Amino acid sequence: MTGQLNVGVAEGCTPRLLRELNDTESLDAYRGTGGYAALPDPETFVTTVTDGGLLGRGGAAFPLGRKLSTVRNAGVRPVVLANGEEGEPASVKDRWLLRYRPHLVLDGLRLAAHTVGAGRAVLYVSDPAGARAVAAAIADFDGVLGGAALELVTVEPGYVAGEETAAVRAVNGGPAKPTDKPPRPFQEGVDGRPTLVSNVETLAHLPFLLAHGAAEYRSVGTPGSPGTFLSTVTGAGAPVTYELAHGTPVPELLARHGVSTDRVTGLLLGGYFNGLINRRVLDASMDHETLRGLGAGLGCGAIAVLTEETCPVAVAAAVLRYFDRENAGQCGSCFNGTAAMAAAAEALRDGLATGEDLDRLRRWSTVLRGRGACGTLDAATNVAASLFAEFPDEVSAHLGGRCPTCAAHPYTAVRPFEVEAGELV
């Protein structure tokens, strides 16, 4: 099998997850690197994960040690769900792990299930190639690993399908759409049981923690964002998924990607959710605390590079229309709000908006926040609000119908900076 997903490692970073692989890693090859080591004492391992400071890699950056402890102490035998439904168009890291290192993901799932005492472990994916690789890896163990019954659940890809309550709902036999919270999955999830939902990259870090301990895990990264993470970089060249140490300076990553900072006008940061940021990001580093301090976020690690050929107004309009198409259609505020914001942003892009249109878009970017069942509406408000805050000159130029960037380089992508993952053949 050959793949079409490009990977790389930042200078000075010893990879913990990525490998130079042209094929799916076999069980024997994975065991040859120390995989599937003896299971640890659960309480001790919770302490290791907590002390290591492992944060979720799906976007929310929630501490995994806290999740493990909460589900472990729920008083009911729980379920563990590995979330590999990578609905973010600008990211491909989870698909790479599922396609090329399924045993690393399974090993992490095994450790999580053992630690919380789960009897059922579910892998939830939408990528067909990833699903085939995982299914073959599960077959290596006849469907049982570390005392947990393994199950593969596949769904159609979608932005909302990867939300944790959507994943639980789909595994329970319903549509892959979010549900109201509470209850949250750690309270009541798959089969009504407490459920640990964790991104596959997050779980893939657990074997390293078992083998090397918390101190070694923290030997790279920052105090608030320890360890390495996977970042898919798009724009200004072919998409590449890199493994980076948290705290890597943004210019260093751009140089690794072959992009001169002179060309960079900003980033669409952390996937679509966190919105836009202008050139001030060039003074930042890739860690949660630094980016939160800038009013931005690292999210799932996806980074789209805006250059002098990319108009941020056109990008924002395309992202907002994507949210309009991809919302679950369950919340009136989101169904109507994303459509209204997309229409206003497209009118601005096309030089047809009025001052009243912008006032409405600016107001919606504030008052609609927090009114959806999942994060889609919040993502849309983030994009709109960040456009006004980060690129006021470009907004003004479009209001006057005189954007030179759009005149020279019209931007009409249906899914901005989408990674074409291809297939394993």
Domain coordinates in residue numbering, the chain: 7-217, 228-307, 312-408
Q: Which CATH number is associated with domain 228-307?
A: 3.10.20.600
Measure the CA–CA gap between 229 and 243, rounded to whole angstroms: 6
pLDDT digits (tens, 9 = 90+) for 236-279: 888 999 999 999 999 999 999 999 999 999 999 999 999 999 99
Q: Quick one: pLDDT at residue 423?
A: 56
If you average pLDDT over every residue of the chain, what do you get?
A: 94
> Please, which pLDDT band fits residue 10 given cuts at 50, 70 and 90?
confident
Give me the mean pLDDT over the 292-298 stretch: 95
What residues have CB less than 8 Å from 324, skipping those under 6 apart? Answer: 338, 339, 341, 342
Q: Work out the number of other CB atoms within 10 angstroms of the CB of residue 53.
A: 20
Is residue 3 scored above 80 in pLDDT?
A: no
Look at the domain 7-217 and name its fold. Answer: Rossmann fold (3.40.50)
Domain 312-408 -> CATH class: mainly alpha
Q: Work out the number of other CB atoms within 10 angstroms of the CB of residue 397.
A: 18
Q: What is the pTM of this model?
A: 0.95
Weakest-pLDDT range from 3-17, 184-198, 235-249, 337-351 = 3-17
pLDDT digits (tens, 9 = 90+) for 371-388: 888 889 999 999 999 999
What share of the chain has pLDDT > 90, as a percent?
88
Give me the mean pLDDT over the 156-171 stretch: 96
Q: Quick one: pLDDT at residue 9?
A: 84
